[in-house]
Structures are given as structure tokens and as C-alpha cells.
Amino acid sequence: MDSKSISSVANLPTKYGDFKIQSFKEGNKEHLAIFKEPFGELPLVRVHSECLTGDVLGSLKCDCGEQLQKALELIAKEGGLIIYHRQEGRNIGLFNKVNAYALQDKGLDTIEANHQLGFNADERTYDVVVDILNHFGIKKLKLLTNNPKKLEVLEGFEIVERVPLVIEANEKNRDYLKVKKEQMGHLL
Ligand SMILES: [Zn+2]
């Protein structure tokens, strides 16, 4: 990653605690590292995929917003790093995600809706995540995730522990969480 693709480090005080932020460019995408030092020997790391509807609007269709809040709370206490990975809607983008939601309104599940739009269930890539972890000199870590695929994509790192993010299902996201668990292998 060349230095033009890496921003300065700035302070970001939040209601969860005081963090530092740094942005990383990947083509026309701008990702964010939100971190609290010291990392300690075994930093707690969360790779959070952008979900505007869940993270910002409080959508009950998914568990992203709650997962992000929990990760911020934990990392404010323990130290560590959140990579805010700007691949909205499992990387189909916001526009297509809204179309996928419209298909879900007609009864398709999250995977069927993606397929109908011509996408895979999951279009995410993780190259920039690897670059960001390398930038911070992280080799060994504890990963905050329910998604076993994220353990695979980070196979070049020593993941000493998987820390689950347990979110209570609600009436609106119960079916979505069920698909995540039963068809996408999430450990919920
Ligand atoms: Zn979401």
C-alpha cells in the first residue's frame, strides 16, 4: 500500500470511548481503521462490513448495527482494532442491496435475492483487510466474529481465539439470522 493511500491518524472521541481513526484507499473505496491502543500482545480485531441500513439507520433486518456497537464497546475497554470494510451489502453496493431487499419483501431469502440479481450470496474480497493488518504490524490476533469465512480469509494470520458477538434475534431479523446460520455457516 503506497503512502498516498493511507491517511493521517486522527482522534475520534465517541460515546463508547476515545478511539483513533485512519483511512485507507483501495481504488475508489475508502475504508477505515478505528482503533484503541495499546493493542497488547494479542489485539482484539473486528472486520466489520459496511451496512448503512443496520449501522446508521438501526435496521432490524440484520444484526450489523448491534455487532458494530458491541465491537466498539469491547475494543474501547480492551484495546484493539475495527476495520470498517466499505463493501456495502456483501459488496453488491447500496443500490443493489435495496433491490435485494425489495425481492426479500416478496418472500425471497437473502441468498435467493442476490442470485436473482445475478450476484453470488457473498461478493466480498479481503485484500485490503490483509493490507491494513500488515500496516498495523498485527500478526497474531483475537478475531471478533461469528463468520467462519473470515477465519479462512485471514489464514495468513495467527488467529489465537475467535470471540463471538452474540446478538439476540428479534422478530424482523430472525429469518435472516437463520439463513446466515444454516446456509452461510455462521456460528450463531
Ligand atoms: Zn446489515
Ligand 1: distance of its center to the CA of 64 in Å? 4
C-alpha cell at 142: 483475537
Report the Cα–Cα distance between both ends of the chain, in Å, rounded: 34
Ligand 1: distance of its center to the CA of 144 in Å? 16
**What is this structure's pTM?**
0.89
Active site residues: 122, 124
Report the amino acid identity of residue 19.
F
Residues 17-42: tens digit of each pLDDT: 999 999 999 999 999 999 999 998 89
Q: What's the pLDDT score for residue 170?
A: 73
| Secondary structure class of 149 (helix, strand, coil) | helix
Contact 184, 121 (CB under 8 A): yes
Percent of the chain with pLDDT over 90: 68
Which among 87, 148, 94, 90 is positioned nearest to 115, based on CA atoms? 90
Q: For the chain, how long is the longest CA-to-CA vector?
A: 49
Contact 36, 16 (CB under 8 A): no
Q: What's the pLDDT score for residue 188?
A: 61
Ligand 1: distance of its center to the CA of 170 in Å? 14
Q: What's the pLDDT score for residue 47?
A: 95
Contact 148, 187 (CB under 8 A): yes
Within the chain, which residues score under 70 in pLDDT? Answer: 187-188
